[in-house]
Structure 1
């Protein structure tokens, strides 16, 4: 279900999309059964009327007169395929109507009353059971707002670190994007992420982190404000197109802000001035190939040593809320509470979890 924040925004989005998205109605299994029961009754009464109109063409073993009750009785035993044989079509017209009309109605009756009803019961009940189980088991997951280029790339990077697909929930306003996320094995929520009820459906209040990568900067700000209100402890990483909007996102509660337009522009400029440096930087960004840029805790063996003595190439030392350069005099001796931003080979294993004392910090 797509909702807009204002009428002007709705008009702009409608012109850009060129289509109207209607909300999908959720029908309970009981209502599904009632609808099919009414359809079956409609088929039953249509057949009764057909038999009653041509009642003179039927033979009754009890008496020679076909009443309305007799027509109703014959219709029920015929559509249910019971067929006692005490009433049977005798004339050519009655037999023709039975062959061409009542027999197809009998098949339709059985499909409506039995096949479709069972399918509705089993399918809807199973889907509701899966949804309830998914919601009850979902904890410390990752919510990704926007399944575009930025959102997909962020998910692929997170998956390369060992995050399971069942721990990712995608929110997008476009149904085709949600279907694409489902096809790749991710749970999806269709709707406007600026609305709190949409974020609640994605269980943001119990999520560990959220990646906000919509197409508009104002959407990023509103989603950040709403997510921070629902979950004050959630880690928020948001993307903006314009660098001037980055401070506003940080004030809204984002922990990290990535400026996509300026970052791409700097990379283009670097590629012109120093193509090799640009290739190395692109290699660092693409996780899993060549060199990787990673943040990790200081191991026990590295405590008290200089950053230059570490096995990995240390770029920065994170101490508290400060980021120190590798050659900063304050970072000359590493502490166990420090974290390191390092460059290492993609195939090289990082320290085991029991050595990462600061991982949960």
Structure 2
């Protein structure tokens, strides 16, 4: 879609072209016009007459006196005047109509948006997080991207996500993204200090949403948790641990990298306990269980306090998926750690 500034520029050029044509027509028949000041019409007078005529001002200091000049005004200049007005009025109406349509669309979008996912930052981390979440069946219409860059928001909207341009550290920007109605918020800006401020603002607006934030330096992770983040992912620390593991055991590093890459090979997913598994131990299930989520506790698969599995438990398992396969809707991929 053509940008509004380009549309306005084209309209202005068209209006100027009409003005020039009108001035040339008047100058070509300048002998048929009378100027009250000096009785003659030069090139400047022709442009002046064209300007006041097309704008319907009409001071009357320059007037057509010959029959040819009057006929030219009737059959040439009057249609040019109408065209000039259509161009200018049409531009105004189009801008107002587009603005009204956009306001209506945004109001309708905001009124229906509930329990959505807000992603702060659409860089490598934010984009990967969205792709991972969408594998669970989350619709793109339920994802709102917030970023200060117009190009980034254009890229997000071209992929089907809703976009909000602005500084996410400001509460009014987050309100435009309906953060107060969101179910989960992913914070992945370029700077750690920005992540802290965004987390503080988002938690103030929404006390119940799950907030997951990414930081570059591990020393900033406690500050993010104090600011209200439920989980903090340290990108540099995770990358460093993966590098170290790959040096000690290349095979183990390959397995970990496979687990991190969502949608193929091995994936870590969270799923509910089915009735057939109630009373069994984690080792007796068909899947490879690594942890059991009971209430707010995450228990290791060999924790003696687990006993038999309960219907309200959730299992964190490792499963094998084929490329292009979608994770079942009742599962939830875990964030990279």
Please report the TM-score for the alignment, with normalisation by the length of structure 1: 0.70
CA distances 1:207-228 after superposition (whole Å, capped 9, x unpaired): 1010000111111111111111
Give the alignment partner of residue 224 of structure 2, picking from 232, 246, 249: 249
SS of corresponding position for 2:226? helix
- What corresponds to 1:90 in structure 2? 67
CA distances 1:142-191 after superposition (whole Å, capped 9, x unpaired): 00001111000001111111111111111112222112112211111111
What is the rounded CA distance, in whole Å, between the counterparts of 2:245 and 2:67 in structure 1?
93
Pairwise CA distance, 1:251? 1.1
- What corresponds to 2:86 in structure 1? 110
1:346 pairs with 2:297? no
Give the alignment partner of residue 185 of structure 1, picking from 160, 177, 185: 160
What is the rounded CA distance, in whole Å, between the counterparts of 1:172 and 1:246 in structure 2?
22
Give the alignment partner of residue 175 of structure 1, picking from 124, 142, 150: 150
Contact preservation (8 Å) 1:287, 1:346: no
1:321 pairs with 2:289? no
1:202 pairs with 2:177? yes
Please report the TM-score for the alignment, with normalisation by the length of structure 2: 0.75
- What corresponds to 1:258 in structure 2? 233
Contact preservation (8 Å) 2:136, 2:327: no
- What corresponds to 2:275 in structure 1? 300
1:161 pairs with 2:136? yes
Contact preservation (8 Å) 2:135, 2:327: no
1:279 pairs with 2:274? no
Higher relative contact order (CA 8 A, sep 6+): 2
Any unmatched runs of 5+ in structure 1? 1-24, 26-31, 59-70, 80-86, 357-361
What is the rounded CA distance, in whole Å, between the counterparts of 2:92 and 2:328 in structure 1?
56
What is the rounded CA distance, in whole Å, between the counterparts of 1:238 and 1:318 in structure 2?
21
What is the rounded CA distance, in whole Å, between the counterparts of 2:91 and 2:220 in structure 1?
53
Q: Structure 1 residues 269 and 88 mapped into 2: Cα distance closer, same or farther (>3 Å)?
A: farther
Pairwise CA distance, 1:346? 1.8
- What corresponds to 2:41 in structure 1? none
What is the rounded CA distance, in whole Å, between the counterparts of 1:232 and 1:197 in structure 2?
17
Pairwise CA distance, 1:283? 1.3
1:231 pairs with 2:206? yes
- What corresponds to 2:265 in structure 1? 290
1:214 pairs with 2:195? no
- What corresponds to 1:127 in structure 2? 102
Contact preservation (8 Å) 1:283, 1:290: yes
SS of corresponding position for 2:275? coil
279-288 vs 344-353, greater mean Cα deviation = 344-353
Contact preservation (8 Å) 1:89, 1:95: no
CA distances 1:18-41 after superposition (whole Å, capped 9, x unpaired): xxxxxxx9xxxxxx9xxx9xxx9x
What is the rounded CA distance, in whole Å, between the counterparts of 1:106 and 1:127 in structure 2?
29
Pairwise CA distance, 1:124? 2.3
What is the rounded CA distance, in whole Å, between the counterparts of 1:252 and 1:352 in structure 2?
31
Any unmatched runs of 5+ in structure 2? 34-48, 57-63, 333-337
